[in-house]
Amino acid sequence: MVTNITGKTLDVPALPDGYQWCAWHPQYRDIHAEVKYRSFEDEIDALVFPSLSTRSGCQRLMIDICSRNGFLPETTWLIGHHKTMGFVGNHFCATIQGVVNPNGWGAIQNVGVVPEHRDHGLGKSLVMQCLNGFQQVGVNEIFLEVTSDNFRAIQLYEKLGFVKQKLIYRAESLKRV
Ligand SMILES: CC(C)(COP(=O)(O)OP(=O)(O)OC[C@H]1O[C@@H](n2cnc3c(N)ncnc32)[C@H](O)[C@@H]1OP(=O)(O)O)[C@@H](O)C(=O)NCCC(=O)NCCS
Protein backbone atom coordinates (compact mmCIF):
# COMPACT_ATOMS: atom_id res chain seq x y z
CA MET A 1 0.00 0.00 0.00
CA VAL A 2 1.25 3.51 -0.74
CA THR A 3 0.60 7.11 0.21
CA ASN A 4 2.02 10.49 -0.75
CA ILE A 5 2.22 12.96 2.16
CA THR A 6 3.55 15.96 0.25
CA GLY A 7 2.11 19.12 1.83
CA LYS A 8 -0.27 17.15 4.06
CA THR A 9 -0.95 18.28 7.62
CA LEU A 10 -0.29 15.23 9.73
CA ASP A 11 -1.87 15.63 13.15
CA VAL A 12 -0.78 12.88 15.50
CA PRO A 13 -3.75 11.97 17.73
CA ALA A 14 -3.08 12.44 21.46
CA LEU A 15 -2.46 9.15 23.23
CA PRO A 16 -5.14 7.98 25.70
CA ASP A 17 -4.47 8.52 29.43
CA GLY A 18 -1.69 6.39 30.80
CA TYR A 19 0.17 5.98 27.49
CA GLN A 20 3.35 7.78 26.48
CA TRP A 21 5.65 8.08 23.48
CA CYS A 22 9.18 6.78 23.62
CA ALA A 23 11.50 8.02 20.86
CA TRP A 24 14.20 5.81 19.35
CA HIS A 25 17.40 5.15 21.23
CA PRO A 26 19.73 2.23 20.40
CA GLN A 27 19.21 0.87 23.92
CA TYR A 28 15.56 0.22 22.99
CA ARG A 29 16.36 -2.12 20.10
CA ASP A 30 15.55 -5.29 22.04
CA ILE A 31 12.37 -3.76 23.45
CA HIS A 32 11.15 -3.06 19.91
CA ALA A 33 11.92 -6.70 19.13
CA GLU A 34 10.00 -7.95 22.16
CA VAL A 35 6.95 -5.78 21.43
CA LYS A 36 7.08 -6.81 17.77
CA TYR A 37 7.11 -10.47 18.85
CA ARG A 38 4.17 -10.03 21.25
CA SER A 39 2.21 -8.11 18.59
CA PHE A 40 2.71 -10.57 15.72
CA GLU A 41 2.68 -13.90 17.57
CA ASP A 42 -0.17 -15.99 16.07
CA GLU A 43 -1.10 -13.21 13.61
CA ILE A 44 -1.54 -13.75 9.89
CA ASP A 45 1.52 -11.68 8.94
CA ALA A 46 3.73 -14.04 10.96
CA LEU A 47 2.64 -16.87 8.62
CA VAL A 48 3.95 -14.95 5.62
CA PHE A 49 7.09 -13.78 7.39
CA PRO A 50 8.07 -16.56 9.83
CA SER A 51 10.72 -14.28 11.42
CA LEU A 52 7.86 -12.39 13.04
CA SER A 53 6.65 -15.52 14.84
CA THR A 54 9.71 -16.05 17.06
CA ARG A 55 11.57 -13.89 19.59
CA SER A 56 14.90 -14.59 17.97
CA GLY A 57 13.46 -13.80 14.53
CA CYS A 58 12.16 -10.45 15.78
CA GLN A 59 15.55 -9.69 17.35
CA ARG A 60 17.28 -10.42 14.04
CA LEU A 61 14.76 -8.24 12.20
CA MET A 62 15.42 -5.31 14.55
CA ILE A 63 19.19 -5.70 14.20
CA ASP A 64 18.73 -5.65 10.42
CA ILE A 65 16.37 -2.65 10.41
CA CYS A 66 18.41 -0.38 12.64
CA SER A 67 21.72 -1.20 11.00
CA ARG A 68 20.51 -0.22 7.50
CA ASN A 69 21.90 2.99 5.98
CA GLY A 70 18.36 4.24 5.48
CA PHE A 71 17.17 3.62 9.04
CA LEU A 72 15.23 6.69 10.26
CA PRO A 73 15.13 7.23 14.04
CA GLU A 74 12.52 10.00 13.47
CA THR A 75 10.01 7.38 12.27
CA THR A 76 10.76 4.78 14.93
CA TRP A 77 8.69 4.80 18.11
CA LEU A 78 7.51 2.80 21.05
CA ILE A 79 4.40 3.46 23.12
CA GLY A 80 4.57 2.69 26.84
CA HIS A 81 1.81 2.19 29.37
CA HIS A 82 2.47 3.05 33.01
CA LYS A 83 -0.01 0.59 34.51
CA THR A 84 1.64 -2.45 32.99
CA MET A 85 5.10 -1.77 34.41
CA GLY A 86 6.52 -5.13 35.38
CA PHE A 87 9.26 -7.27 33.99
CA VAL A 88 11.59 -5.72 31.45
CA GLY A 89 9.89 -4.74 28.22
CA ASN A 90 6.37 -5.26 29.53
CA HIS A 91 5.86 -1.54 30.06
CA PHE A 92 5.81 -1.15 26.27
CA CYS A 93 2.84 -2.11 24.15
CA ALA A 94 3.29 -0.74 20.61
CA THR A 95 6.10 -0.38 18.08
CA ILE A 96 6.81 1.05 14.63
CA GLN A 97 9.97 1.58 12.60
CA GLY A 98 10.75 3.31 9.31
CA VAL A 99 13.54 3.26 6.74
CA VAL A 100 14.20 5.10 3.51
CA ASN A 101 15.10 2.85 0.59
CA PRO A 102 17.83 3.69 -1.94
CA ASN A 103 15.09 4.76 -4.43
CA GLY A 104 13.95 7.46 -1.96
CA TRP A 105 10.73 5.73 -0.90
CA GLY A 106 9.96 5.52 2.80
CA ALA A 107 9.06 2.07 4.08
CA ILE A 108 7.06 1.47 7.24
CA GLN A 109 8.15 -1.70 8.99
CA ASN A 110 5.96 -3.96 11.10
CA VAL A 111 3.35 -1.81 12.85
CA GLY A 112 2.44 -3.71 16.02
CA VAL A 113 0.19 -3.22 19.05
CA VAL A 114 0.09 -6.04 21.63
CA PRO A 115 -3.37 -7.68 21.82
CA GLU A 116 -4.39 -6.34 25.25
CA HIS A 117 -3.87 -2.72 24.14
CA ARG A 118 -5.68 -2.80 20.79
CA ASP A 119 -8.73 -0.73 19.82
CA HIS A 120 -7.56 2.31 21.82
CA GLY A 121 -6.30 4.21 18.79
CA LEU A 122 -2.64 3.29 19.31
CA GLY A 123 -2.25 1.81 15.82
CA LYS A 124 -3.53 5.02 14.25
CA SER A 125 -1.28 7.18 16.44
CA LEU A 126 1.77 5.05 15.62
CA VAL A 127 1.29 5.36 11.87
CA MET A 128 0.64 9.12 12.09
CA GLN A 129 3.72 9.64 14.27
CA CYS A 130 5.80 7.64 11.80
CA LEU A 131 4.45 9.60 8.77
CA ASN A 132 5.29 12.79 10.64
CA GLY A 133 8.87 11.58 11.01
CA PHE A 134 9.11 10.87 7.27
CA GLN A 135 7.78 14.35 6.50
CA GLN A 136 10.34 15.96 8.83
CA VAL A 137 13.19 14.43 6.86
CA GLY A 138 11.61 15.21 3.48
CA VAL A 139 10.52 11.68 2.52
CA ASN A 140 7.02 11.98 1.10
CA GLU A 141 6.31 8.78 -0.80
CA ILE A 142 5.67 5.99 1.65
CA PHE A 143 4.84 2.32 1.26
CA LEU A 144 4.19 -0.67 3.43
CA GLU A 145 3.36 -4.31 2.85
CA VAL A 146 0.45 -6.01 4.54
CA THR A 147 -1.09 -9.42 4.05
CA SER A 148 -4.24 -9.05 1.96
CA ASP A 149 -6.27 -11.01 4.55
CA ASN A 150 -5.28 -8.63 7.36
CA PHE A 151 -8.52 -6.64 7.10
CA ARG A 152 -8.03 -4.83 10.38
CA ALA A 153 -4.67 -3.42 9.36
CA ILE A 154 -5.83 -2.62 5.82
CA GLN A 155 -8.82 -0.70 7.19
CA LEU A 156 -6.48 1.28 9.44
CA TYR A 157 -4.12 2.15 6.56
CA GLU A 158 -6.97 3.10 4.20
CA LYS A 159 -8.40 5.46 6.82
CA LEU A 160 -5.00 7.14 6.97
CA GLY A 161 -4.83 7.65 3.20
CA PHE A 162 -2.97 4.59 1.95
CA VAL A 163 -4.19 2.91 -1.23
CA LYS A 164 -3.52 -0.58 -2.49
CA GLN A 165 -0.82 -0.62 -5.13
CA LYS A 166 -0.14 -4.18 -6.12
CA LEU A 167 -0.75 -7.74 -5.10
CA ILE A 168 2.36 -9.83 -4.52
CA TYR A 169 2.11 -13.62 -4.35
CA ARG A 170 4.63 -15.21 -2.03
CA ALA A 171 5.76 -18.83 -1.87
CA GLU A 172 3.52 -19.44 1.14
CA SER A 173 0.62 -18.73 -1.30
CA LEU A 174 -0.65 -15.91 0.88
CA LYS A 175 -1.03 -12.56 -0.80
CA ARG A 176 0.32 -9.15 0.14
CA VAL A 177 -0.86 -5.78 -1.12
C1 LIG B 1 -3.36 -3.61 13.05
C2 LIG B 1 -3.06 -3.05 14.44
C3 LIG B 1 -1.70 -2.35 14.43
C4 LIG B 1 -4.18 -2.03 14.80
O5 LIG B 1 -3.85 -1.48 16.07
P6 LIG B 1 -4.98 -0.84 17.02
O7 LIG B 1 -4.28 -0.08 18.07
O8 LIG B 1 -5.93 -1.88 17.46
O9 LIG B 1 -5.72 0.13 15.98
P10 LIG B 1 -6.56 1.44 16.36
O11 LIG B 1 -7.25 1.24 17.68
O12 LIG B 1 -5.70 2.63 16.18
O13 LIG B 1 -7.66 1.40 15.22
C14 LIG B 1 -7.47 2.14 14.05
C15 LIG B 1 -8.37 1.61 12.97
O16 LIG B 1 -8.08 0.22 12.74
C17 LIG B 1 -9.27 -0.47 12.38
N18 LIG B 1 -9.60 -1.41 13.45
C19 LIG B 1 -9.13 -1.43 14.72
N20 LIG B 1 -9.67 -2.45 15.37
C21 LIG B 1 -10.48 -3.10 14.51
C22 LIG B 1 -11.30 -4.25 14.60
N23 LIG B 1 -11.42 -4.95 15.74
N24 LIG B 1 -11.96 -4.66 13.48
C25 LIG B 1 -11.87 -3.95 12.33
N26 LIG B 1 -11.11 -2.82 12.20
C27 LIG B 1 -10.43 -2.42 13.27
C28 LIG B 1 -10.35 0.57 12.32
O29 LIG B 1 -10.36 1.09 11.00
C30 LIG B 1 -9.87 1.62 13.29
O31 LIG B 1 -10.35 2.90 13.02
P32 LIG B 1 -11.54 3.51 13.93
O33 LIG B 1 -11.07 3.46 15.35
O34 LIG B 1 -11.70 4.89 13.37
O35 LIG B 1 -12.73 2.60 13.70
C36 LIG B 1 -3.11 -4.17 15.51
O37 LIG B 1 -4.31 -4.87 15.37
C38 LIG B 1 -1.96 -5.16 15.42
O39 LIG B 1 -0.87 -4.93 15.95
N40 LIG B 1 -2.18 -6.31 14.75
C41 LIG B 1 -1.18 -7.39 14.68
C42 LIG B 1 0.03 -6.99 13.90
C43 LIG B 1 -0.34 -6.57 12.50
O44 LIG B 1 -1.09 -7.25 11.80
N45 LIG B 1 0.20 -5.41 12.08
C46 LIG B 1 0.00 -4.87 10.77
C47 LIG B 1 0.89 -5.56 9.83
S48 LIG B 1 1.53 -4.49 8.60
Question: For ligand 1, is residue 156 a contact (CB within 6 Å)?
Answer: yes
Question: For ligand 1, is residue 16 a contact (CB within 6 Å)?
Answer: no
Is pLDDT above 80 for 130?
yes
Say what the pLDDT of residue 44 is: 87
Strands 106-113 and 141-143: parallel
Question: For ligand 1, is residue 159 a contact (CB within 6 Å)?
Answer: yes
Say what the pLDDT of residue 173 is: 44
Q: Rounded to the nearest whole angstrom, what is the distance from the C-alpha of residue 128 to the centroid of ligand 1?
A: 13
Which residues, in sequence order, are CB contacts of 13 under 8 Å at separation 6+? Answer: 121, 124, 125, 128
Q: Which is higher by pLDDT, 21 or 170?
A: 21
CA distances from 97 to 64, 77, 106, 150 (A): 12, 7, 11, 19
Which atom of ligand 1 is nearest the CA belonging to 153? 1
Say what the pLDDT of residue 89 is: 47
Which atom of ligand 1 is nearest the CA belonging to 126? 12
Q: What is the pTM of this model?
A: 0.92
**Would you give the distance in Å from CA 112 to the centre of its chain?**
5
